[in-house]
Amino acid sequence: MLKKTLIAAAGVFILVGAIVFAKLGQFSAMGEAAKNMVMPAETVTAMLVEDTQWEQFIPAIATVTAVQGVKVSAEASGRVSKINFKSGAFVKQGESLIQLDTASENAQLASAKAAAALAKADLTRVKRLHKQKLVSQGELDSAEAKVKETVALIQNVRALIAKKTINAPFSGRLGLREVNLGQILREGDAIVSLHTLDPIYVDFSIPQKALSRLKPGLEVRVTVDAAPKDIFVGQVVASNPEVDPVLRSVRVRAKIANPSEVLRAGMFANARVVMPDKKTVLPVAATAIAFATFGDSVFVIEKKNNEKSGETEQVLRQQFVQLGQRQGDFVNVIKGLKAGDRVTTSGVFKLRSGMKVVIDNTLAPKPSLNPNPSDS
């Protein structure tokens, strides 16, 4: 019995040993294969870092304001007898907008003219009698005053009639009509809005530290959501003499040509005051930056000789950088790179130092200083 047990144990031991020996051989072969395996190069997009000139500008949030804008209102009470305009029409200065009923005033004017004619006839007669010394100086003075009084009454009635015709105070674009034919208007009731839209003002604020760089005539570029593909160009015309004590900013006004009248009063806009001097920068695409809390970095592509194969390979080196101004799709690198370096521009999250790469820019998107992506 003991002999059989020993024989069985020996057989199991030999079997296990054979299996272990075989596995060790397999692991050794796998390790040797892994040691000799060459990882394929990673395909990346890249760009050459070059010195360039960037415009310097002061960005601001702006509001579009009409050069002239008013709510045309009634100067006198009356019934609307004629409407001479259409909503949204362009009108010239002095053009009639509405006519109020003047029947009562016309009657008053006729009465005043009759009174004036009578007063002038009385004055002529009194003057003749005064020369004959048949009337006193006081009667002559009274007759002359009566003539002046009736003339003033005529002027007053004519002025009231003129107020019943509401004209455009300046040339511009009308808004929506707020009155109807036959409506009784009171003094001050709104009739229609009127704005001058070409040219137009754009108002914005800049920080007080930029005030020394601000001068009238500087170029201003404006964009609005209503026309995302258009850039409206104008000039700085004025600024407030005082600084806001709360925001420490200065209110600035620019005048923009607006022949198509795309810009409307009250619009939200983005404005850039362009400085006359340019700055030399070293920009890279924003997609080349690996942003991290411990420091921002890029991957520089360097050429190295492979000691085993003798071939020249492109290898990555992670380089920490200091960033500056951002414009469009680019970021200015203040420190860490030099002109002539080549950096990767995609997939930086999966790259590491020492990795071999192959550059393929076939499908690489082209970065822009003024990107204007279409809605998707």
User: Which residue from 150, 166, 149, 153 is spatially nearest to 102, judged by alpha carbons?
Assistant: 166
Kindly state whether residues 302 and 353 are assigned to the same domain: yes
Predicted local distance difference test score (pLDDT) of residue 2: 63
Residue 376 is predicted with a pLDDT of 46
Burial class (CB in 10 A: 0-12, 13-18, 19+), 318: middle
Q: Would 30 be classed as within a structural domain?
A: no
Domain boundary among 271, 305, 326: 271
241-251 residue pLDDT tens: 999 899 899 99
Return the pLDDT at 78: 87
Residue 24 lies in a domain: no
The pLDDT tens digits for 194-236 are: 999 989 999 999 999 888 888 899 999 999 988 888 899 999 9
Q: What is the CATH number of the domain that holds 241?
A: 2.40.30.170
User: What is the C-alpha separation between 306 and 313, in angstroms, rounded?
Assistant: 7
DSSP assignments along 182-233, one per residue = TPEEPTT-EEEEEEEEEEEEEEEEEEGGGGGG--TT-EEEEEETTEEEEEEE
Residue that is last in its domain, among 135, 163, 191: 163
Tell me how long the chain is.
Answer: 376
Round to whole Å and give the CA distance between 320 and 326. 17
Domain match, 267 and 289 both: no
Spatial neighbors of 170 by CB under 8 A, at least 6 apart, are 68, 93, 194, 196
How confident is residue 367, by pLDDT bands cut at 50, 70 and 90?
A: confident
Nearest to 185 by CA among 276, 106, 98, 272: 98
Residues 155 and 120 in one domain: yes
> What phi and psi values does residue 70 have, to the nearest 5 degrees?
-155, 155
Task: State the CATH number of the domain containing residue 111.
Answer: 1.10.287
- Residue 124: is its pLDDT beyond 90? no
Is residue 149 domain-shared with residue 210, that is, in the same domain? Answer: no
The pLDDT-based confidence of 6 (bands split at 50, 70, 90) is: low
pLDDT at 342: 92
143-152 pLDDT tens trace: 888 888 888 8
Quote the number of domains for the chain.
3
The domain of 246 spans 58-67+199-271
pLDDT at residue number 91: 92
286 lies in the same domain as 355:
yes
Of 54, 115, 111, the residue nearest 334 (C-alpha): 54
State the average pLDDT for the chain.
85
Mean pLDDT throughout 299-326? 84
Of 117, 143, 163, the residue that ends a domain is 163
pLDDT over 70 for what percent of the chain? 88
Q: Are residues 267 and 286 in the same domain?
A: no
User: Does a structural domain hold residue 256?
Assistant: yes
Task: With residue 37 as reference, give the H or E element that holds it.
Answer: none
Co-location of 223 and 251 in the same domain = yes
287 with 265, same domain: the answer is no
75 and 187 in contact (C-beta within 8 Å)? Answer: yes
Say if 194 falls within a structural domain. Answer: no
Which range of 61-70, 104-113, 120-129 scores highest in mean pLDDT? It is 61-70
Structure tokens, 95 = 């053009």
Residue 292 lies in a domain: yes
CATH of the domain at 341: 2.40.420.20
Q: What's the average model confidence in pLDDT over 76-102?
A: 89
